[in-house]
């Protein structure tokens, strides 16, 4: 068994691994992240193994299941090295062709390449694909290159070199100073400088201290932490060990939600492998530094991502926040100094130690350094995980990487910062992403959620949706959050149902102010954000709902009606056949009419009416026109002769 006793032994072992690897030998990397597995990656991996065996290529080609590169909507993803040929939506049936064409003849299988939805061009290599091209992948870049279950793969790409450097050549204070100099800010929420947090713990008198990974990732739609935990667990572990060394802690914890079974499995395996290699445990790399790591599974409550609730849960009690009279880096887990950082924050630490704080501070804005991973979803052409330098504009993220808004729709807003984030409108698309920039715009960075909304989205309904989520996730311990959010949700729901009244906006503002001022934890304090930001930029939509009973986006069911324009209806019968409520009356050559009493406003008729007719319209804030008289409903098609 390998046991690395010094930093030099680590380096020579790395060289030994590299010497056994031939960089020119074809390697087929198949994403084995949860997204691709859900789309059939396991079968694809098995098919590759079987085909390689059948064709007698086992000695000539490597295959591996890797971490998620972020483009899950196009999974299963296969990358063939050394050429870096990328194939998307690969099935087990495609495998024989890939082997016989690409591996044997060096030919590309055109139909499996990425086809740009905007330009229609096909791209062979990752670097040619619009989704990846404008990204700067410092943290995520190794996900697709390594088998996340192999410590040797991590070592081959320079893994644990930062740990060797820190333990072999730097004092704990030097490590701390490097992280402080980098101005690394927490990637999980508030953007607090990591170095300052670490320093507070280090200086705290209590000798037993803890370092913790916040891998709770409760934001709906966010999966950047999961991708790292599943895809490159050693990078987070390495950061955690370095952090432990810097602050004088000998015990670390991963707090992972139990809904992430693959992440839990891969982290446990990474810990076991690191222990076997002597990178965890007693006297790591001969430095005299001891460090142990435990994994704790959370039950998946959103509030348990909050620092004090997380620590209470780790202690084995109900995960409820507690007042922060003293910061948790001084009095945290079991009342001892505890540094809690997000997954992505920890994963940045080895990069900073390896490449130096000066490298890190070259990237980003004045106050936000490095890169940030966002989960780009919603009404956007390319969805997935994107890692960009801080300071990139929202416009570039949405249009250059995301490929813009699909179906010819107009952009309306982008919601950033998770459920308690805010919505940013079109006239601020040139805003540079950064902690302070987003906060000034009334939103926040949060952990990196980015939901794009198009013209069909009702902003009052967006606020209602997120406040509902937060109401349900409130732990209920403090009144402003528990009762205040419930009331905000009730009023917002009424507005979307057309029952809004004068004074509602003012009442919502008062409730929001109270929640911000008086809630116990940041869940309640930030929860009014979805309302406040939509009110700031889309007040006219609130007023239209309340005063005119009109939903300008034509989205709120209770405020819209569907109507068939008799001048456009060609009596094709499609809407009549598809209407699940049997609310449409019509017949052959008979203009169709919607029975407003029976209509459930599901929108099926609107969707199925052929675009060339465009007979079904949505209206709001105005009465539905009276149906035309029965005798006028027959369509008499004129013959060509007559019409001349």
Ligand X SMILES: Cc1cc2nc3c(=O)[nH]c(=O)nc-3n(C[C@H](O)[C@H](O)[C@H](O)COP(=O)(O)O)c2cc1C
Write down the least CB distance from residue 345 to ligand X, Å.
Answer: 3
d(CA 128, CA 21): 27
592 CB-near residues (< 8 Å, 6+ apart): 564, 569, 571, 573, 575, 576, 584, 585, 586, 615
Q: Does 522 bind ligand X (CB under 6 A)?
A: yes
Q: Which stretch binds ligand X (CB under 6 A): 60-68, 385-393, 516-524, 596-604?
A: 516-524
Q: Does 31 bind ligand FES (CB under 6 A)?
A: yes
Site for ligand X in 437-456 (CB under 6 A): 447
Write down the least CB distance from residue 419 to ligand X, Å.
Answer: 9
Write down the least CB distance from residue 242 to ligand X, Å.
Answer: 14
- Rounded to the nearest 10 degrees, the angle between the axes of helix 224-231 and helix 261-276 is 40
Q: Does 233 bind ligand FES (CB under 6 A)?
A: no
d(CA 40, CA 130): 25
* Residue (126 or 541) nearer to ligand FES, CB: 126
Q: Which stretch binds ligand FES (CB under 6 A): 32-40, 323-331, 453-461, 465-473?
A: 32-40
**Pick from ligand X, ligand FES, none: which does 68 bind, CB < 5 to 8 A by kind?**
ligand FES
Q: Which stretch binds ligand FES (CB under 6 A): 27-35, 122-130, 311-319, 387-395?
A: 27-35
d(CA 341, CA 334): 17
Q: Does 296 bind ligand X (CB under 6 A)?
A: no
* Residue (84 or 455) nearer to ligand FES, CB: 84
d(CA 345, CA 140): 12
Q: Could you tell me if 168 and 284 are in contact, meaning their C-beta atoms sit under 8 angstroms apart?
A: no
d(CA 12, CA 523): 49
- Among residues 446, 357, 388, 435, the alpha carbon closest in space to that of 140 is found at 388
d(CA 105, CA 204): 63
470 CB-near residues (< 8 Å, 6+ apart): 302, 419, 420, 485, 523, 527
Among 10, 26, 27, 35, binds ligand FES (CB under 6 A): 35
Q: Does 214 bind ligand X (CB under 6 A)?
A: yes
The radius of gyration of the chain's CA atoms, rounded to the nearest angstrom, is: 28
Write down the least CB distance from residue 170 to ligand X, Å.
Answer: 22
Write down the least CB distance from residue 252 to ligand X, Å.
Answer: 14
**Pick from ligand FES, ligand X, none: which does 167 bind, CB < 5 to 8 A by kind?**
none
HEC string for 263-312: HHHHHHHHHHHHHHCCCCECCHHHCCCCEEEEEEEECCCHHHHCHHHHHH
Q: Does 569 bind ligand FES (CB under 6 A)?
A: no
Q: What is the DSSP letter of 339?
A: E
| Block residue for tokens 């052959």 | 588
Among 345, 375, 416, 620, binds ligand X (CB under 6 A): 345
Write down the least CB distance from residue 309 to ligand X, Å.
Answer: 7
Please state the length of the chain.
Answer: 644
- Among residues 280, 257, 254, 248, the alpha carbon closest in space to that of 267 is found at 254
* Preceding peptide of 117 cis, ω within 30°: no
* Residue (402 or 480) nearer to ligand FES, CB: 402
First to last CA, the chain: 92
Among 305, 384, 402, 528, binds ligand X (CB under 6 A): 305
**Pick from ligand X, ligand FES, none: which does 69 bind, CB < 5 to 8 A by kind?**
ligand FES
Write down the least CB distance from residue 167 to ligand FES, Å.
Answer: 33
Q: Does 31 bind ligand X (CB under 6 A)?
A: no
Say how many C-beta atoms besides its own lie within 10 A of residue 185's C-beta: 26
In the stretch 50-89, what mask flags binding to ligand FES with x, by CB under 6 A?
A: ------------------xxxxx--x-x------------
Residues at the site binding ligand X, with contacts judged by CB under 6 A: 186-190, 192, 214, 216-218, 302-303, 305-307, 340-342, 345, 447, 521-523
Interface contacts to ligand FES, rule CB under 6 A:
31, 33-36, 68-72, 75, 77
């Amino acid at each position: 068994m390998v046991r690395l006793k010094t930093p030099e032994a680590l380096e020579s072992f790395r060289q030994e691994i590299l010497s056994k690897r031939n960089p020119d030998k074809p390697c087929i990397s198949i994403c084995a992240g949860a997204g691709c597995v859900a789309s059939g990656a396991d079968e694809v991996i098995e098919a590759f193994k079987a085909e390689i065996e059948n064709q007698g290529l086992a000695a000539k080609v490597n295959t591996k299941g890797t971490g998620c590169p972020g483009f899950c909507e196009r999974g299963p993803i296969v990358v063939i090295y050394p050429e870096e040929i990328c194939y998307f939506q690969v099935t087990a049936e495609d495998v024989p062709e890939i082997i016989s064409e690409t591996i044997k003849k060096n030919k590309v299988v055109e139909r499996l390449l990425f086809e740009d939805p905007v330009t229609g061009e096909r791209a062979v290599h990752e670097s040619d694909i619009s989704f990846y091209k404008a990204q700067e992948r410092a943290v995520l870049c190794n996900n697709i290159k390594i088998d996340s279950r192999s410590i040797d793969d991590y070592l081959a790409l320079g893994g644990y070199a930062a740990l060797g450097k820190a333990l072999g050549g730097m004092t704990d204070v030097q490590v701390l100073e490097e992280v402080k100099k980098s101005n690394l800010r927490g990637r999980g929420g508030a953007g607090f400088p990591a170095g300052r947090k670490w320093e507070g713990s280090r200086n705290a008198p209590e000798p037993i201290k803890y370092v913790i990974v916040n891998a709770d990732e409760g934001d709906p739609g966010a999966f950047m932490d999961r991708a790292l935990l599943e895809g490159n667990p050693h990078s987070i572990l390495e950061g955690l060990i370095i952090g432990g060394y810097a602050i004088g802690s000998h015990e670390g914890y991963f707090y992972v939600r139990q809904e992430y079974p693959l992440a839990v499995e891969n982290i446990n395996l990474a810990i076991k492998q690191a222990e076997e290699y002597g990178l965890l445990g007693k006297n790591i790399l001969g430095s005299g530094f001891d460090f142990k790591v435990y994994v704790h599974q959370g039950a998946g409550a959103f509030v348990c991502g909050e620092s004090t609730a997380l620590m209470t849960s780790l202690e084995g009690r109900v995960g409820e926040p507690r007042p922060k009279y003293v910061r948790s880096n001084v009095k945290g887990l079991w009342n001892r100094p505890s540094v809690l950082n997000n997954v992505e924050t920890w994963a940045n630490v080895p990069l900073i130690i390896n490449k130096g704080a000066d490298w890190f501070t070259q990237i980003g804005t004045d106050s936000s350094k490095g890169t940030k991973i966002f989960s780009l979803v919603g009404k956007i052409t390319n969805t997935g995980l994107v890692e960009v330098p801080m300071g990139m504009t929202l416009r570039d993220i949405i249009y250059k990487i995301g490929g813009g808004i699909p179906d010819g729709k107009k952009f309306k807003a982008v919601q950033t910062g998770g459920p308690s984030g805010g919505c940013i409108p079109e006239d601020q698309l040139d805003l540079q992403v950064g902690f302070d920039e987003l906060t000034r715009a009334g939103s926040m960075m949060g952990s990196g959620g980015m939901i794009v909304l198009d013209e069909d989205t009702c902003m009052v309904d967006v606020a209602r949706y997120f406040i509902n989520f937060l109401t349900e996730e409130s732990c209920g311990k403090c009144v402003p959050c528990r009762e205040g959010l419930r009331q905000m949700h009730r009023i917002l729901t009424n507005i979307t149902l057309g029952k809004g009244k004068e004074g509602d906006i003012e009442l919502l503002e008062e409730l929001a102010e109270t929640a911000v001022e008086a809630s116990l934890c940041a869940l309640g304090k930030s929860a009014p954000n979805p309302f406040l930001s939509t009110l700031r930029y889309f007040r006219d939509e609130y007023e239209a709902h309340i005063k005119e009973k009109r939903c300008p986006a034509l989205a709120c069911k209770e405020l819209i009606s569907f109507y068939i324009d008799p001048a456009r209806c060609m009596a094709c019968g499609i809407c009549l056949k598809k209407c699940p409520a049997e609310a449409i009356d019509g017949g052959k050559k008979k203009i169709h009419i919607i029975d407003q009493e029976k209509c459930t406003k599901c929108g099926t008729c609107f969707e199925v009416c052929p675009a060339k007719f465009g007979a079904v319209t949505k209206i709001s804030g105005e009465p539905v026109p009276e149906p035309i008289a029965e005798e006028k409903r027959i369509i008499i098609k004129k013959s060509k002769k007559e019409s001349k």
